[in-house]
Amino acid sequence: MTHAYLSSAALQAEHHLPLSIQGLTVQERKHNILEDLWLDLQPGQTTVLLGPNGAGKSTLMHTLMGLIQPTTGTAQVFGHDVFTDGVQARARTALVSDSIGLLESFTVLEHFEYGQDLQPNWNQGRALEVAKHLQIPLNQQARKLSKGQKMALRTAYAFGSQPELLLLDEPTNGLDPENRSRFLSLMVDFVATGGTVLMSTHVLSEIETLADRLVIMKRGTLLLNAEMEDLRQHRNLVHVNFEQELNDHQLARLRNLPGVYKLGARGRSLTLHVRGEVALLAQMIEQEFPVLNLHIQPFMLEQIYTEAMGGQL
């Protein structure tokens, strides 16, 4: 009976999300650095945080590691509250960030020995495997490592602790192109085996490669939280060249077509920003207007970002 109860409790614990953030607010001298953040991460997914400098991405990651106490709100890692049950939460989480200090006089190997003493789930083989993959010199002291090698060491250390949730704060900072690509392949494998990643980056190509979900932040708030697949399928630009310049009535008609949320016109050329079903809309335009040619341009990350920053999403 007891056994059955325990199994069901264990099962329930496994149904908790890798990360659930509820109303997280961090205030510093009456200024909200994070403001009422709500975010759930699904297992086996990579969520990328994108936002301008000072948006609050690093603050969010530090708060999720229990390094900053929130003013209000909370967060759980696999059901363990980060602030009241932090040891359990952190046993399943690792942070890679250049804000994490290294032991400058310790070699790479000595860092791993330190991990063995400190981390409850330490796996020396895994740390060594990642260190080899990222080509870090094992007997080099941290102070003699390059910026990229230091980031690689933090990555290997994080994997050594066998996390299920990885928080990555601009983790490819300083990595050369080969190591950047080795790093990305590590993340792809981690997520493919059920791991969960929350990563901040300013590199749009990394988002294209890794992200399942995109979260855009500005001044401590979330401007966008969407599945990449949804963004790819449901946001398009429609470029149209007409036989003649459209009159005001025709432009107003186009502006009011379903899904159109922005329109840019220059002479006989026009660009529509469309959310949702685009093929049908293109058909309607071709039927109703004197179209010379029409071209649908799918989702572009840069455009989504610009629109989010401008408050158009």
Question: Which positions lie near ligand ATP, rule CB under 6 A?
Answer: 28, 33, 51, 53-59
What's the closest the beta carbon of residue 220 comes to ligand ATP, in angstroms?
Answer: 7
Residue 310 CA from chain centroid, whole number? 20
What's the closest the beta carbon of residue 275 comes to ligand ATP, in angstroms?
Answer: 27
The residue (of 88 and 97) whose beta carbon lies closer to ligand ATP is 97
Beta-sheet strands, E only, within 162-283: 165-169, 196-200, 213-218, 221-227, 235-242, 260-266, 269-275
Which residues are paired to 271 by β-bridges? 239, 264
Distance, in Å, from the CA atom of 118 to the CA atom of 133, rounded to the nearest integer, reads 23
What's the closest the beta carbon of residue 62 comes to ligand ATP, in angstroms?
Answer: 8
The residue (of 59 and 93) whose beta carbon lies closer to ligand ATP is 59
The residue (of 67 and 284) whose beta carbon lies closer to ligand ATP is 67
Q: What DSSP assignment string belongs to 84-133?
A: TSHHHHHHTEEEEETTS---TTSBHHHHHHHHHHH-TT--HHHHHHHHHH
The residue (of 168 and 240) whose beta carbon lies closer to ligand ATP is 168
What's the closest the beta carbon of residue 171 comes to ligand ATP, in angstroms?
Answer: 12
Task: Report helix, strand or coil for 73.
Answer: strand
- Backbone φ, ψ for residue 295 (5° rounding): -135, 130
The residue (of 65 and 274) whose beta carbon lies closer to ligand ATP is 65
Task: Give the count of beta carbons closer than 10 Å to the beta carbon of residue 216.
Answer: 22
What's the closest the beta carbon of residue 54 comes to ligand ATP, in angstroms?
Answer: 4
The residue (of 54 and 264) whose beta carbon lies closer to ligand ATP is 54
Helix axes 177-192 and 147-160, enclosed angle (nearest 10): 10
**Is the separation of the CB atoms in 174 and 147 below 8 Å?**
yes
The residue (of 31 and 255) whose beta carbon lies closer to ligand ATP is 31
The residue (of 26 and 156) whose beta carbon lies closer to ligand ATP is 26
Task: Give the count of beta carbons closer than 10 Å to the beta carbon of residue 69.
Answer: 8
22: Cβ contacts below 8 Å, ≥ 6 apart: 38, 73, 74, 75
What's the closest the beta carbon of residue 58 comes to ligand ATP, in angstroms?
Answer: 3
What's the closest the beta carbon of residue 80 comes to ligand ATP, in angstroms?
Answer: 23
Residue type present at position 304: I
Distance, in Å, from the CA atom of 57 to the CA atom of 76, rounded to the nearest integer, reads 18
What's the closest the beta carbon of residue 147 comes to ligand ATP, in angstroms?
Answer: 15
The residue (of 130 and 170) whose beta carbon lies closer to ligand ATP is 170
What's the closest the beta carbon of residue 49 comes to ligand ATP, in angstroms?
Answer: 8
**Is the separation of the CB atoms in 271 and 239 below 8 Å?**
yes
